[in-house]
Chains A and B, each alone.
Chain A
């Protein structure tokens, strides 16, 4: 088994210490962090496939995201251009909308977006519409994600989209809404472009929008 195969397998098997050992070994052998990150990404993608086939569950999705994040952290000292890289990445803004403080799904979405190579700005919970707009202006983000669990979140989602319209930004961004209750009706009401109750599927929607990947 090649080092690459072993690394991918360790990610898929959730063997985190093995992942970190292989990553360290690869760094010593002079393999570029960018390549290692791609390999890790492949592992996370297989985990996602298994999740969709119901062989894996949310726990495994979360764990794969964690292993990815920690492995990247090991490489951070040697990724000197990290900041520049980040600037090149597409930016996605995510937050739980005003009046709602539920964030389990949102946090998983954030980790998976990072694993997929996006620069994610997490605004946290109970985020007022103006804050979404302000950040979008500041960062030129092309995708904004609203999260919510309570029915009051629908009203806040509507208000947030209204705020984007008010400042003339609505046509320049794509909006995805996420959370257990969201469906097509919520999407239409909230004036969004996409919806999901599944963080992994949400990442695929964002990938499709920004990179044309299915």
Chain B
């Protein structure tokens, strides 16, 4: 085990300083690790990481020490709360066709979502009326998860509270995904399958809008369900399907932005630390994010959004993070990762408001993840 090097600030201080758009001691670094520990540890598999909060916490702590410490972590059990969430959510195994490790998949394969979009969508266009009348609960299925998993939530929640506390108080490392929120837009797109949903935008736009209008407030409340279980402070709100990889600005303005803005602003008002997890390409609509509260948010982007543009447009408004290509951590080399991280630090670190990070594939090479962390510690220092 590597001893974690002492630094001028704790991870909590460092991350919160960046969030407020001020310069911390160095650029914080955030590998978004889901199941990676299971790839390296004999006695912990992916099903354990998902369903066993003690083993999940052990795995996360192991990797934290193994690669020299990082600035944001996930509490053991948080993943259980996400996948066995009884409310309509993209990650909930009670909806859609989720295939889970140790159930439909071998114990060492991460959960996967089969959209079946063209052949047999989870939600049919004619079901929109039923959603308007009855909501979403009639869509629950027990194919991947059952009553037993639901009953287990009560046992898992206290473990999540304990693990969340441990990261914040003992490790002085903030957690992410204490709660998770979503927009009605993204949920409908996932339930219909994105291909069908894109056709619906042309064929049933009024109905979609009516559903979004009717349920956005309920969805904002559902995002707090995780928080009520974990007693944490962070909410992760995902957005994927309203980017320029999917829809026009016109549709973005009509169907997504006002409701996303309301969701984020409500969470900020309630005092949560909000992480916007925006996969796919948002470059042409980054300026909208200036309408959100200043100095109170993180924006995670993947390699499809231009981080240099994000710095230019949002640098004085929102803390940004991301742009590294996740597959680099599996197929790339430490040298290549160091080069990319240095470029991001060189161009985006000035004035604070930057975190370096990426989603980490579940079969990433540890030396690659470590290269990202070491580069931030070495080159990411702010000179006072």
Are B247 and A59 interface neighbours, CB within 8 A?
yes
Are B246 and A125 interface neighbours, CB within 8 A?
no
Are A104 and B363 interface neighbours, CB within 8 A?
no
Please tell me if B115 contacts chain A, counting CB pairs below 8 Å. Answer: yes
CB distance from B89 to the nearest CB of A (A): 19
Within 8 A of B (CB), among A69-106: 99-104
CA distance A58 to B304 in the complex (A): 15
Please tell me if B152 contacts chain A, counting CB pairs below 8 Å. Answer: no
Please tell me if B144 contacts chain A, counting CB pairs below 8 Å. Answer: no
On whether A108 and B363 interact (CB within 8 A), knowing A54-B244, A101-B112, A151-B331, the answer reads no
Please name all residues of chain A whose beta carbon is closer than 8 Å to the beta carbon of B363 when the two chains form the complex: 151-152
Please name all residues of chain A whose beta carbon is closer than 8 Å to the beta carbon of B245 when the two chains form the complex: 57-58
Please name all residues of chain B whose beta carbon is closer than 8 Å to the beta carbon of A62 when the two chains form the complex: 195, 198-199
Contact of B251 among A59, A151, A186 (CB under 8 A): A59
- B329: nearest residue on chain A (CB-CB)? A151
Within 8 A of A (CB), among B193-213: 193-195, 198-199, 201-203
Within 8 A of A (CB), among B353-376: 361-364
CA distance A133 to B164 in the complex (A): 49
Are B117 and A59 interface neighbours, CB within 8 A?
no
Flag B303-332 by CB within 8 Å of A: 1 or 0 each.
Answer: 010000000000000000000011100110
CB distance from A103 to the nearest CB of B (A): 6
CB distance from B240 to the nearest CB of A (A): 11
Please tell me if B125 contacts chain A, counting CB pairs below 8 Å. Answer: no
Are B194 and A104 interface neighbours, CB within 8 A?
yes
| Most chain A CB inside 10 Å of its own CB: which residue of B110, B114, B284 | B114
Please name all residues of chain B whose beta carbon is closer than 8 Å to the beta carbon of A99 when the two chains form the complex: 109
Flag B163-200 by CB within 8 Å of A: 1 or 0 each.
Answer: 00000000000000000000000000000011100110
Please tell me if B113 contacts chain A, counting CB pairs below 8 Å. Answer: yes
Please tell me if B99 contacts chain A, counting CB pairs below 8 Å. Answer: yes
Contact of B247 among A57, A66, A101, A186 (CB under 8 A): A57
Are B247 and A181 interface neighbours, CB within 8 A?
no
Please tell me if A189 contacts chain B, counting CB pairs below 8 Å. Answer: yes
Please name all residues of chain B whose beta carbon is closer than 8 Å to the beta carbon of A56 when the two chains form the complex: 248
On whether A185 and B248 interact (CB within 8 A), knowing A59-B201, A103-B117, the answer reads no
CB distance from B353 to the nearest CB of A (A): 27
Are A57 and B244 interface neighbours, CB within 8 A?
yes
Please tell me if A206 contacts chain B, counting CB pairs below 8 Å. Answer: no
On whether A58 and B198 interact (CB within 8 A), knowing A125-B114, A150-B361, the answer reads yes
- B119: nearest residue on chain A (CB-CB)? A124
Please tell me if A45 contacts chain B, counting CB pairs below 8 Å. Answer: no
Are A101 and B199 interface neighbours, CB within 8 A?
no
Please tell me if B118 contacts chain A, counting CB pairs below 8 Å. Answer: yes
Within 8 A of B (CB), among A34-73: 54, 56-60, 62-63, 66
Please name all residues of chain B whose beta carbon is closer than 8 Å to the beta carbon of A16 when the two chains form the complex: 202-203
Flag A103-126 by CB within 8 Å of B: 1 or 0 each.
Answer: 110011000000000000000010
On whether A189 and B331 interact (CB within 8 A), knowing A100-B112, A107-B118, A107-B195, the answer reads yes
Are B331 and A101 interface neighbours, CB within 8 A?
no
Please name all residues of chain B whose beta carbon is closer than 8 Å to the beta carbon of A150 when the two chains form the complex: 110, 112, 361
CA distance A102 to B195 in the complex (A): 12
Within 8 A of A (CB), among B103-138: 109-110, 112-118
Are B331 and A63 interface neighbours, CB within 8 A?
no
CA distance A63 to B198 in the complex (A): 7
Please tell me if A154 contacts chain B, counting CB pairs below 8 Å. Answer: yes
Are B117 and A60 interface neighbours, CB within 8 A?
no
Please name all residues of chain A whose beta carbon is closer than 8 Å to the beta carbon of B110 when the two chains form the complex: 150
Contact of A59 among B118, B246, B326 (CB under 8 A): B246
Flag B280-296 by CB within 8 Å of A: 1 or 0 each.
Answer: 00001000000000000
CA distance A33 to B275 in the complex (A): 53
- A63: nearest residue on chain B (CB-CB)? B202
Are A58 and B247 interface neighbours, CB within 8 A?
yes
CB distance from B183 to the nearest CB of A (A): 16
Please name all residues of chain B whose beta carbon is closer than 8 Å to the beta carbon of A58 when the two chains form the complex: 198, 245-247
| Most chain A CB inside 10 Å of its own CB: which residue of B194, B246, B364 | B194
- A154: nearest residue on chain B (CB-CB)? B331
- B252: nearest residue on chain A (CB-CB)? A57
Within 8 A of B (CB), among A1-55: 14, 16, 54
CA distance A151 to B246 in the complex (A): 22
Are B331 and A107 interface neighbours, CB within 8 A?
no
Are B331 and A57 interface neighbours, CB within 8 A?
no
On whether A101 and B113 interact (CB within 8 A), knowing A57-B244, A152-B363, the answer reads yes
Contact of B117 among A57, A107, A154, A189 (CB under 8 A): A107
Are B331 and A185 interface neighbours, CB within 8 A?
yes
Please name all residues of chain A whose beta carbon is closer than 8 Å to the beta carbon of B326 when the two chains form the complex: 151, 181
CA distance A104 to B251 in the complex (A): 20
Please name all residues of chain A whose beta carbon is closer than 8 Å to the beta carbon of B202 when the two chains form the complex: 14, 16, 59, 63
Which 4 pairs between the two chains have the least Cβ-Cβ distance?
Answer: A181-B327, A59-B198, A151-B330, A62-B198
Give 10 pairs: A residue, B residue, CB < 8 Å, sorted on A: A16-B203, A58-B247, A101-B99, A101-B114, A151-B330, A151-B361, A152-B363, A154-B331, A180-B304, A181-B327
Supplied contacts A54-B284, A57-B247, 5 more A-B pairs, CB within 8 Å = A16-B203, A57-B248, A59-B248, A103-B114, A107-B195
Instruction: List residues of B whose CB falls within 8 A of some A CB.
Output: 99, 109-110, 112-118, 193-195, 198-199, 201-203, 244-248, 251, 284, 304, 325-327, 330-331, 361-364
